[in-house]
Structure 1
Amino acid sequence: MPYSHIGVRSSAAEQSLAQALAALSEEFKLPGEFSPDVLAEVDRVIAAHQLPAPDLTALPFITIDPPTSQDLDQAMYLERNDDGYIVHYAIADVPSFVPAGGPLDAETRRRGQTIYTPGQRIPLHPAPMSEGAASLFANDPRSAYVWQIHLAADGSQTTATVRRATVKSVAKLGYEQAQEMYDAGTAPAAFADTLALLAEIGTKRIALERARGGASLNVPGQEVEFVDGRYVLSFRPNLPIEEWNAQISLLTGMAAATIMIEGKVGILRTMPTPDEESIATYRLQTVALGTPWTKDIAYGEYLRSLNTEDPKQLALMHAAASLFRGAGYTPFNGTVPQEIMQAAVAAPYAHTTAPLRRLVDRFVLSLCAALCAQEEVPVWAVEALAELPEIMSASNQLASKVDKAAIDTVEAALLSHQVGGEFDAVVLAGPRSNGHNSKSATARSSIQISVPAVTAYCEGDLTPGTVVRVRLTAVDIAKRSVTFVPSAQS
Structure 2
Amino acid sequence: MPIRPHQVQAVPKPLVEGLEKLREDLTIPEDFSVEVHDAALHAARYPRLPELDRTDLEFVTIDPEGSRDLDQAVFIETSGSGYIVWYAIADVAAFVSPGDPLDLEAHIRGQTLYGPHKRTPLHPPELSEDAASLLENETRPAVLWRITLDEKGHQTARTVRRALVRSRAQYTYREVQDALDRGTASEPLQLLKTVGLLREHIEHERGGVSLQIPEQEVETSNGEWHIVHRSALPIEGWNAQISLLTGMAAADIMLDARVGLLRTLPPADAASLRTLRETAKALRIDWPPDMDYPEFVRTLDPQRPDHAAMLYSCTLLFRGAGYLAFNGQRPDNAQHAALATHYAHVTAPLRRLVDRYAGEVCLAVCAGEPVPEWVATALAQLPREMESSNRKASAYERGIVNMVETFMLSPHVGKEFTGTVVEVDETGEKGRFIIRNPAVEAGIRGVDLPFGQEIRVRLVDADLRNGQSRFELVCSEAVLSATADC
TM-score (norm 1): 0.86
Counterpart of 1:341 in 2: which secondary structure?
coil
Aligned counterparts of 2:274 and 2:266: Cα–Cα separation in 1: 16
Does the aligned pair in 2 maintain the 1:289–1:450 contact within 8 Å? Answer: no
Decide which moves more: 262-271 or 318-327.
318-327
Aligned counterparts of 1:368 and 1:268: Cα–Cα separation in 2: 12
Aligned counterparts of 1:466 and 1:136: Cα–Cα separation in 2: 44
TM-score (norm 2): 0.86
| Percent identity over paired residues | 44
Per the TM alignment, residue 16 of structure 1 is displaced from its structure 2 partner at its CA by 3.8
Does the aligned pair in 2 maintain the 1:94–1:356 contact within 8 Å? Answer: yes
Counterpart of 1:250 in 2: which secondary structure?
helix
What residue is the counterpart of 2:5 in the other structure? 5
Aligned counterparts of 1:424 and 1:173: Cα–Cα separation in 2: 37
Instruction: Provide closer, same or farther for how the CA distance between residues 234 and 449 of structure 1 changes in structure 2, counting only shifts above 3 A.
Output: closer
Does the aligned pair in 2 maintain the 1:446–1:455 contact within 8 Å? Answer: no
Please give the per-residue CA displacement for 1:256-313, whole angstroms capped at 9, x wherever unaligned: 0000000000010000123467657766877788867676544434444444455775
Aligned counterparts of 2:8 and 2:274: Cα–Cα separation in 1: 34
What residue is the counterpart of 1:336 in the other structure? 330
Aligned counterparts of 2:282 and 2:222: Cα–Cα separation in 1: 29
Aligned counterparts of 1:422 and 1:132: Cα–Cα separation in 2: 46
For the aligned residues, what is the CA RMSD? 3.3
Aligned counterparts of 1:228 and 1:446: Cα–Cα separation in 2: 34
Instruction: Provide closer, same or farther for how the CA distance between residues 254 and 177 of structure 1 changes in structure 2, counting only shifts above 3 A.
Output: same
Trace 1:467-482 onto structure 2 (pairs within 5 A). 471-482=458-469
Given candidates 399, 404, 407, the residue that maps to 1:405 is: 399
Aligned counterparts of 2:200 and 2:323: Cα–Cα separation in 1: 25
Instruction: Provide closer, same or farther for how the CA distance between residues 460 and 387 of structure 1 changes in structure 2, counting only shifts above 3 A.
Output: same
Q: Which amino acid aligns with 1:119?
A: H
Counterpart of 1:136 in 2: which secondary structure?
coil
Matched, 1:212 2:210: no
Q: Which amino acid aligns with 1:214?
A: G
The runs of 5 or more residues in structure 2 that have no matched partner are 476-485
Per the TM alignment, residue 83 of structure 1 is displaced from its structure 2 partner at its CA by 0.9
What residue is the counterpart of 2:263 in the other structure? 269
Trace 1:77-116 onto structure 2 (pairs within 5 A). 77-116=75-114
Given candidates 225, 230, 248, the residue that maps to 1:254 is: 248
Aligned counterparts of 1:140 and 1:230: Cα–Cα separation in 2: 36
Per the TM alignment, residue 398 of structure 1 is displaced from its structure 2 partner at its CA by 0.5
Per the TM alignment, residue 459 of structure 1 is displaced from its structure 2 partner at its CA by 3.6
Q: Which amino acid aligns with 2:47?
A: H
Aligned counterparts of 2:452 and 2:60: Cα–Cα separation in 1: 52
Does the aligned pair in 2 maintain the 1:288–1:425 contact within 8 Å? Answer: no
Does the aligned pair in 2 maintain the 1:5–1:221 contact within 8 Å? Answer: no
Q: Which amino acid aligns with 1:324?
A: F
Aligned counterparts of 1:37 and 1:290: Cα–Cα separation in 2: 60
Does the aligned pair in 1 maintain the 2:209–2:338 contact within 8 Å? Answer: yes
Instruction: Provide closer, same or farther for how the CA distance between residues 301 and 116 of structure 1 changes in structure 2, counting only shifts above 3 A.
Output: farther
Q: Which amino acid aligns with 2:165?
A: V
Per the TM alignment, residue 119 of structure 1 is displaced from its structure 2 partner at its CA by 3.0
Decide which moves more: 132-141 or 412-421.
412-421
Instruction: Provide closer, same or farther for how the CA distance between residues 422 and 360 of structure 1 changes in structure 2, counting only shifts above 3 A.
Output: closer
Q: Which amino acid aligns with 2:443?
A: Y
Instruction: Provide closer, same or farther for how the CA distance between residues 115 and 314 of structure 1 changes in structure 2, counting only shifts above 3 A.
Output: farther
The runs of 5 or more residues in structure 1 that have no matched partner are 433-442
What residue is the counterpart of 1:371 in the other structure? 365
Trace 1:347-366 onto structure 2 (pairs within 5 A). 347-366=341-360
